[in-house]
Amino acid sequence: MKIVVLDGYGLNPGDLSWKGMEALGELVVYDRTSPSKVMERSANAEVLITNKTVITAEHMSALPQLKYIGVLATGYNVVDIDEARHRGIVVTNIPAYSTASVAQMVFAHVLNITQRVGYYANENAKGRWTNSIDFCYWDTNLIELEGKKMGIVGLGNIGQATARIAQAFGMEILVFTSKEQSALPEGMKKVTLDELFAQSDVVSLHCPLTPDTKEMVNAARLRTMKPSAILINTGRGPLVNEQDLADALNEGRIAAAGLDVLSVEPSVFGNPLFNARNCFITPHIAWATKEARTRLMDIAVNNLKSYQEGNVINNVAR
């Protein structure tokens, strides 16, 4: 069985091992594959492994030997699922591997905004504390989280993990979810989306990207938020209208934003959020702890091994 990894670098830049997958067939790993190279590199492969390299209906029609596509992520929009289903090609994803890491990143952003540890560490490295006439100094708004309201949009695995961390800080939890109030963990209150944005001190986005949720954070919704509110997005970039958010930040209509995702990645020149007031952007790394990537690799190997054994798991093209 020939196995081709089209873009392995994101998962494994060199600190993990492909040995588990090597044991399952003839393995070829490419760090990255441009669209023009997909067909050439996929020739004669029964298995394709992809992270962000798009696999289209045209690719599948030209690859009759292709039987399995493994996506190295939870989201699988890089594969034409309808075409795969039509052709009987198994498509697997990697569920729930990064829950703890993404929830941790939510609060990395929250704490950066409320305490500004990096800012003060940099100031002190430049000698500011040494030259201070007082025993301490601060010139940002330092915020205590206890008693504040945390609004969580979407209560899947990551939303629930984020809520538990927020509760540990003594925050009140508001959630927008399809679940009934009676099914929610203790201490979580179900509210409408409008209520969540209007009442929350921190809003964290954890819902899937659908036509209904695209640009759910827009000028109208931002106007309902508290001027002291913080927006966190570790979910999907297109959940946010980026120009509307930049305008709200620059005009002081909300206090700050912490973002790990953007609508186009890698980011494009001229994105208004990079110069927006109190906007802190990380390069889509919430998932990328070594622990999470190790789990991802292990699940990817197990998905393929199970397929070979006739026990298909995590198939999103059923």
Q: Which residues are catalytic?
A: 236, 265, 284
Contact assessment for residue 173 and residue 187, using Cβ atoms and an 8 Å cutoff: yes
What phi and psi, each to the nearest 5 degrees, are found at residue 113? -75, -40
Distance CA 3, CA 170 (A): 49
Residue bearing tokens 């699940």: 299
Question: What are the φ/ψ torsions at residue 97 (nearest 5 degrees)?
Answer: -85, -25
75 and 97 Cβ atoms separated by less than 8 Å: no
Three-state DSSP class for 37? Answer: helix
Region for 45 from its dihedrals, namely left if φ exceeds 0, alpha if ψ lies in -120 to 50, beta otherwise: beta
Q: Token digits for 160?
A: 């629930």
Nearest of 6, 87, 55, 141 to residue 317 by alpha carbon: 87
For residue 18, give the DSSP letter: -
CA distance 161 to 183: 16
The first and second tokens of residue 79, run together, are 């594969």
DSSP state of 240: B
Task: Tell me the one-letter amino acid at 129.
Answer: W
In DSSP terms, which residues pair with 92 in a beta bridge? 70, 315
d(CA 218, CA 114): 23
Tokens representing residue 107 in the block: 């609060």
